[in-house]
Amino acid sequence: MSPEPSYAHGTSDTALLGDTIGANLARAVERFPDREALVDLPSGRRWTYAEFGAAVDRLARGLMAAGAGKGDRVGIWAVNCPEWVLTQYATARIGAVMVNINPAYRAHELAYVLNQAGVSLLIASLAHKTSDYRDLVDRVRADCPGLRAVHHIGDPSWDELLAGTVPDGELKAREAELSCDDPINIQYTSGTTGFPKGATLTHHNILNNGFFVGEMLGYTERDRICLPVPFYHCFGMVMGNLAATSHGACVVIPAPSFEPAASLRAVEQERCTSLYGVPTMFIAELNLPDFASYDLSSLRTGIMAGSPCPVEVMKRVVAEMHMAEVSICYGMTETSPVSTQTRRDDDLERRTGTVGRVMPHVEVKVVDPVTGTTLPRGEAGELRTRGYSVMLGYWDEPERTAEAIDPGRWMHTGDLAVMREDGYVRIVGRIKDMIIRGGENVYPREIEEFLHSHPKIADVQVVGVPDERYGEEILACVIPRDPADPPTLDDITAYCRERLAHYKVPRRIEVLDTFPMTVSGKVRKVELRRAYGG
């Protein structure tokens, strides 16, 4: 009997939502007016659903009065704060396209995005850490002729925006023009090579993805979600905010940007039932000296995503953080983002060894990256995905869109994956991260998983670096558990020798304090290769 192909379709008895985001929020406001929708711990502010709906309405009218039309691009360049969330729903309510801008961007990156997306109105923070947003905006204004208005959160210009209004009939007429298939959001991919690309997403894309992620987690109006992940990324605004509001749940903002102690404090104070993070965030929380002093007993679930989740970390999250139903999600900005997810009743092996199975109403397949032929289950190839979640395309870049989405509307993820016999998917690396050592294909993920069990290693990233003899050699960049007693290359070689094939054993080691990261918490392997590849 021939093996089953690496193809899966997420059948579901729950239908896709046909709403716009504004209509979906209105339904939640009507059903849960007195339940909390949003809590901001840094400022102490709280909104019930009725209050949140009214605040969104006020900002929507202000944006219309400021000239924001259907399809106009409104930029949001801010750290996590309630105004970010209000902007997300207010722009959707009036059919403007919200452009997410990474808070870590410097002047030239900001100018690129403002011009590439054609942003006419910008909402920005005033300052955070070393970033003076007002100064950075002032520096690029002359180079961005399309930018006609800037409103800084916490500044009189923000109050002016809120003071503007339009008659009720005008807002209703605008809402009547909207379709769930309208573009509503542009998110820029990280741009590790060249300039970032603007993934253009619709109401239908992101509302349904947030809703079904929440369904997989069993969300109801009783859930309270601690969100230390950035809103500018799909993880925060879709898997967090839209998963919450589509179920009447509450979003809790612990801090403007990730702080491990603030996250655990928020869980304890607000009795959160769900906590999100990338693996490095969970590692930082678990490694706090006073971790055991926090009462995390209210937690039952959460999401670990953004990069591969080490087995040892997942075991501690389940055992010590009470997150028995924690979920692994896999996806990319271009797919709204989640394509596969573990289920609440999955055993530890599936939760640690895979990124789950296909989401409802989505298709995935694993193909030969050269020929595009679907491979048998159990063989490694490129993961591709299709369905409601695939973006419209990259904003104003049809050629780059055609490179990513083929004529069959399959999104080419660039990730190497294996679909198991049971339909669960393992990510074995990025096509571009795969190391080819002496003709052997080496997947860094496998080595990283193994080294996470080393008693002296807190975190590890494996990259390929140039080598005259083998083409590429394997470098392990490690963060030690005890900086005073880091592992040596001999330690690692001896540890690997009995368990890994000889060609997978790292030949070099670098001991580091931290890894270079994107703001969303992904390790920038390209920088590790650049820094230590000599």
Q: What is the pLDDT of residues 318-353, one digit of tens each?
A: 999 999 999 999 999 999 999 999 999 998 889 888
pLDDT score at 533: 85
pLDDT score at 314: 86
> Can you tell me the mean pLDDT for 422-445?
86
| 363 and 451 assigned to the same domain | no
| 178 and 304 assigned to the same domain | yes
Residue at 76 is within a domain: yes
Q: How far, in Å, CA of 106 to CA of 133, rounded?
A: 9
Q: Of 387, 419, 451, at which residue does a domain stop?
A: 419
Mean pLDDT rounded to a whole number for the chain: 94
| 415 and 467 assigned to the same domain | no
Specify which of 79-93, 346-360, 436-450, 458-472 reaches the highest per-range mean pLDDT.
79-93
| 207 and 303 assigned to the same domain | yes
Residue at 6 is within a domain: no
pLDDT score at 192: 44
- The domain containing residue 501 runs over which residues? 433-532
| 410 and 443 assigned to the same domain | no
Q: How far, in Å, are 333, 379, 381, 443, 527 from residue 416 at the CA level? A: 17, 10, 5, 9, 21
Q: How far, in Å, CA of 344 to CA of 415, rounded?
A: 25
Residue at 70 is within a domain: yes
| 522 and 460 assigned to the same domain | yes
Identify the CATH number of the domain in which residue 501 sits. 3.30.300.30
SS3 state at 191? coil
pLDDT score at 194: 61
Residue at 428 is within a domain: no
> Is residue 360 predicted with pLDDT exceeding 50?
yes
Identify the CATH number of the domain in which residue 185 sits. 3.40.50.12780
Residue at 208 is within a domain: yes
Q: Of 419, 443, 468, at which residue does a domain stop?
A: 419
List, for residues 91-123, the tens digit of each pLDDT value: 999 999 999 999 988 898 899 999 999 999 999
> Can you tell me the mean pLDDT for 492-511?
91
pLDDT band at 174 (very low <50, low <70, confident <90, very high): very high
Top-confidence residue, 462 or 279: 462
Q: Which residues pair with 131 in a beta bridge?
A: 128
pLDDT score at 136: 95
> Is residue 193 predicted with pLDDT exceeding 60?
no
| 294 and 193 assigned to the same domain | yes
> Can you tell me the mean pLDDT for 187-196?
71
pLDDT band at 520 (very low <50, low <70, confident <90, very high): low
Judged on CB neighbours under 10 Å (0-12, 13-18, 19+), 13 is exposed
Q: Which residues contact 62 (CB under 8 A, 6 or more apart)?
A: 90, 161, 162, 163, 164, 165
Residue at 277 is within a domain: yes
| 369 and 412 assigned to the same domain | yes
Give percent of the chain with pLDDT exceeding 90. 83
> Is residue 191 predicted with pLDDT exceeding 70?
no
Residue at 55 is within a domain: yes
pLDDT band at 365 (very low <50, low <70, confident <90, very high): very high
pLDDT score at 463: 95
For the sheet containing 357-358, what is the strand order?
Answer: 45-48, 36-40, 250-253, 224-226, 274-277, 301-304, 327-331, 338-341, 357-358
The number of folded domains in the chain is: 2
| 267 and 376 assigned to the same domain | yes
| 522 and 377 assigned to the same domain | no
| Least trusted range by pLDDT, from 172-176, 244-248, 314-318, 323-327 | 314-318
Q: How far, in Å, CA of 9 to CA of 508, rounded?
A: 42
pLDDT score at 177: 97
Residue at 63 is within a domain: yes
Top-confidence residue, 508 or 349: 508
| 350 and 486 assigned to the same domain | no
Q: How far, in Å, CA of 89 to CA of 85, rounded?
A: 7
Q: Of 419, 442, 477, at which residue does a domain stop?
A: 419
SS3 state at 509? strand
Q: How many Cβ atoms from other residues are within 10 Å of residue 469's Cβ?
A: 7
| Least trusted range by pLDDT, from 127-136, 210-219, 380-389, 441-450 | 441-450
| 269 and 393 assigned to the same domain | yes
Q: How far, in Å, CA of 233 to CA of 188, rounded?
A: 9
> Is residue 416 predicted with pLDDT exceeding 60?
yes
pLDDT score at 338: 98
